[in-house]
Structure 1
Amino acid sequence: MPEGHHDLWGLVRDGRHLQELVELLTSPLRESAPTKIVGIEARGFLLGGAVATHLGIGFVPVRKTGGYHPGQKFTIVSEPDWSGKRNSFELQENALCNFDRAALVDDWYTTGSQAMAAIELIRRTGARFVGASVVAEEGDPALAGIPGFHALLRWSPALSMFSRSPFAVHFKERHCSSRDSRTAFARSRDA
C-alpha cells in the first residue's frame, strides 16, 4: 500500500463492525444536534450517509469537481493534501440552508485540507458548521483549529501505530476464498 494510504475498508465489511463504527462516529455529534451530515467523496459518502441515517437526518455530498452534480454549485480548491496535490470540490448551493447545522463525517484526515475546504463550502451556503467526526487522524496541528473535531483513532506516523483514544475500535477481518463466498451466498439464498 502506498505511504499515506491506509485501508479502513475492513471496518465496513462486517455488519456488526459497521454498526459499531457508525455509533462511534455518531456519538460525539449528538450534543451539537446537526440537522445535516456532510460527507466528502468517496468514503465520506458511505460513512456520512450511515451516520445521517443513524441520526434520522439528511445527508449532503461534497463532490470532487468533474463528477455529476447538477445545478448551481459553490466550488473551492483545497490546500495541498498529504501528497502535495490540491483538490477541487463542489457543493450544491441549495443543499444546505442558513438554519442548517452541518457536521462533517469522513474516514481519515492527514493534513485536514479537504476538511477545511468542505467547512468553507458549508459556510458559503449560510449553514452553521457544528463539528466533525472521523475514524482516524494523523495529528496535524491544523486539525486542532476545526471546532468540534473528534477522531476515533490518532495515528502516530513517527511510531507507525495508532495511539488510543477514548473510543475502542477493534476488528478482525475474516478473509475468505471465492469458494467460501459462493457457499455463503448459496446458504443465504436457500435460507
Structure 2
Amino acid sequence: MSHSDLDFIRQQIRTVPDWPSAGVQFRDITPLLSSPKAFRVLIDQFVHRYFDARPTAIAGLDARGFIIGSVLAYELNIGFVPIRKKGKLPFTTVQESYELEYGSATVEIHTDAVGPQDRVVLIDDLIATGGTMLAGLRLLQRLGAEVIEGAAIVDLPELGGSDRIRAAGLPLHTLVSFEGH
C-alpha cells in the first residue's frame, strides 16, 4: 500500500460541513466511487490485503459496505453476504440491535449466510462510533463464522469506534482517517 495511493484516495473523499446536522463534517465517498480510476485504486487496496488471507466470504454492512464488499468478493472469487437493516431480508434471520448517537438500530443476516467453516472479512465505508460493525461482528459470530478482520475506507478516530472495535477483539484495517466529527 503506497502513501501516494492512500493520499489519492483521501483526496477523492468530499467533506460536507454541517450535514446532516450542525457541527458534523460528513465524509462523502461518492466522488471516490464515481471516478473509475479512484474506485479501482480503492478496490485494489483491499484485494491486495486479502488475497493471501483467503477469506471464504466478505460480509458488507448496509448500504455502502455492499458497494465495496460485493466488488471485493468478486475480485477474490468468494461469496458476498449482506448484513441488512431490519426488515429487508426475505428469509429466516437473526438480528442484532445497537445504540446510535440518538436511539438505536437493528441489523440482520440470513441464518444460512455463514457457518463455522467460514472465515469472513466484515466491511463498511466508514468507522464512526463502531456500533454497526460491532453488531455485524456479533451476528457473524452467532452463526459460528470466524471474522478475521473488520475493514473500512475511512476512520473517524475521535468518535472512538475504532478503539471499541479493537477492544472487542476484532482486528481493524482502515485506509484513511480524518480528525473531527
Shorter-chain TM-score above 0.5: yes
Pairwise mapping of residues 3-152 of structure 1 onto structure 2 (< 5 A)? 3=24, 5-67=26-88, 69-78=89-98, 80-81=99-100, 83-139=101-157, 140=160, 141-145=163-167, 146-152=169-175
- Distance of 2:104 and 2:71 partners within structure 1: 27
- Distance of 2:61 and 2:35 partners within structure 1: 22
Structure 1 or 2: more strand by fraction: 2
SS of alignment partner, residue 91 of structure 1: strand
- Distance of 1:155 and 1:6 partners within structure 2: 9
Which deviates more, 30-39 or 93-102?
30-39
Give 1:147 deviation, angstroms.
Answer: 2.3
Residue in structure 1 matching 2:176, options 140, 153, 156:
153
Equivalent position amino acid for 1:76 in 2 = E
**Superposed CA offset, 1:105-150 (max 9, x none):** 1100101110000000001111111101100111212133252210
- Distance of 1:31 and 1:147 partners within structure 2: 19
- Distance of 2:68 and 2:61 partners within structure 1: 10
SS of alignment partner, residue 87 of structure 1: strand
Identical residues among aligned pairs (%): 26
- Asked if the contact 1:28/1:133 (under 8 Å) is kept, the reply is no
Give 1:27 deviation, angstroms.
Answer: 2.9
Pair member with larger Rg: 1
- Asked if the contact 2:93/2:108 (under 8 Å) is kept, the reply is yes
Equivalent position amino acid for 1:151 in 2 = T
- Asked if the contact 1:96/1:125 (under 8 Å) is kept, the reply is yes
Equivalent position amino acid for 2:164 in 1 = A
SS of alignment partner, residue 131 of structure 1: strand
- Distance of 1:26 and 1:87 partners within structure 2: 30
TM-score using structure 2 length: 0.80
Aligned pair count? 155
